[in-house]
């Protein structure tokens, strides 16, 4: 058998426990041994589910280790890392959780996982200096609507009908404090320097930031936020989001 054919055979047996052992594997006794081949099967899936547990610790805490491992194992069955760059593994695990029937009762689970996926993306994102906002303050008011602000490479917004930021925050300590309220939350995940921060921001600020991150000019982004909340405070939102590190550049006209 060619090396390509033998590795395909090996991989199929590795990935599907119901398949027979690959042809040609043996032991010093001269007999193939299923328990030995199972070490490789186990390594693949234990390695992948462990990688997911490391990336999604709050998600794991919310459902318990046994449920999480079973869910992660099912995800890993059909979703292998796209490359050896394992730090990206699980980018679409939140979408899998959203469609995972046994977890449907925990409607907020997928959004917590989205937050955790954003957290590790922010951790590994490109570093970028924060722009100087004082230039904006000095601008003629009619220049402002056309201004564009580029998202910081680490920045991500999670808009959820659930208190996703509060749930995540409550599970950062050993003992989980009771939830005081159960409201929709918008969360900004961002790493302005070396620490990844998770901020709960007003919903209208989230809409504003989302529009800016999508490339909309300031005027258009502000209109979207006003449409959601007439009391939207444009200046406070801009200064506030900037102070959290949400932006990496200010441009007149199109973002280059």
Q: Which residues of the chain form contacts with another protein (CB under 8 A)? A: 1-4, 6-8, 10-11, 14-15, 24-29, 31-37, 39-40, 43-44, 47-48, 51, 79-87, 122-127, 153-154, 191, 194
Nearer to another protein, 37 or 208 (CB): 37
CB of 37 to another protein, least distance (A): 6
The nearer residue to another protein, 163 or 192, going by C-beta atoms, is: 192
Q: Whole-number minimum distance, CB 30 to another protein, in Å? A: 9
Residue 68 CB, shortest distance to another protein, in Å, is 18
- By beta-carbon proximity to another protein, the closer residue of 12 and 252 is 12
Query: Among residues 148 and 191, whose Cβ is nearest to another protein?
Result: 191
If the CB atoms of residues 153 and 215 are measured against another protein, the closer one turns out to be 153
CA distance 120 to 106: 22
Q: How far is CA 237 from CA 91, 180, 192, 223, in A?
A: 29, 25, 17, 13
Closest contact distance (angstroms) between CB of 248 and another protein is 12
Cβ(113)–Cβ(174) below 8 Å: no
Copy the structure tokens of residue 108: 């907020």
Say how far apart CA 13 and CA 8 lie, in whole Å: 9
Query: Which single residue is written with the structure tokens 């959601």?
Result: 228
Listed as own residue / partner, the contacts of 183-186 with beta carbons closer than 8 Å and 24 or more positions apart are 184/159, 184/160, 185/160, 186/157, 186/158, 186/159, 186/160
CB 78 to another protein: min, Å: 8
Q: Is the dihedral of CA 168, 170, 176, 177 positive or negative?
A: negative
The DSSP result for 195-218, as a single string, is S-EEEEE-HHHHHHHHHHHTT--H
In the complex with another protein, the residue whose CB is nearer, 51 or 224, is 51
Q: Taking the complex as a whole, how short is the minimal distance between the CB of residue 189 and another protein, in angstroms? A: 13
Cα–Cα distance measured from residue 248 to residue 120, given in angstroms and rounded to the nearest whole number: 19
Q: How far is the CB of 129 from another protein (least distance, A)?
A: 12
Count CB-CB contacts under 10 A for residue 97: 24
The residue (of 39 and 99) whose beta carbon lies closer to another protein is 39
C-alpha to C-alpha distance for 107 and 66, rounded to whole angstroms: 19
Rg of the chain on CA atoms, in Å? 24
Three-state DSSP class for residue 130: coil
């Amino acid at each position: 058998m060619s090396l390509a054919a033998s590795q395909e055979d090996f991989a199929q047996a590795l990935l599907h426990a119901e398949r027979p052992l690959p042809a040609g594997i043996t032991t010093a006794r001269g007999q193939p041994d299923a328990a030995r081949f199972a070490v490789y099967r186990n390594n693949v899936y234990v390695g992948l589910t462990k990688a997911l547990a490391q990336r999604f610790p709050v998600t794991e805490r919310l459902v318990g280790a046994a449920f999480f491992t079973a869910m992660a194992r099912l995800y890993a069955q059909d979703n292998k890392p796209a490359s050896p760059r394992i730090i990206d593994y699980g980018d679409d695990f939140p979408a899998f959780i959203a469609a995972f029937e046994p977890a449907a009762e925990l409607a907020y689970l997928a959004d917590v996982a989205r937050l955790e996926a954003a957290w590790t993306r922010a951790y590994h994102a490109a570093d970028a200096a924060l722009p100087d906002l004082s230039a904006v303050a000095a601008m003629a008011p009619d220049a402002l609507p056309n201004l564009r602000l580029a998202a910081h490479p680490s920045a991500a917004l999670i808009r959820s009908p659930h208190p996703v930021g509060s749930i995540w925050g409550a599970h950062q300590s050993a003992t989980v404090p009771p939830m005081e309220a159960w409201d929709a939350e918008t969360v900004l995940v961002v790493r302005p320097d070396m620490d990844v921060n998770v901020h709960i921001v007003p919903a209208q600020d989230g809409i504003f930031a989302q529009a800016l991150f999508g490339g909309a000019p300031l005027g258009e982004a502000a209109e979207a936020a006003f449409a959601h909340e007439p009391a939207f405070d444009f200046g406070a939102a801009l200064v506030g989001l900037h102070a959290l590190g949400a932006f990496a550049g200010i441009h007149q006209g199109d973002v280059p």
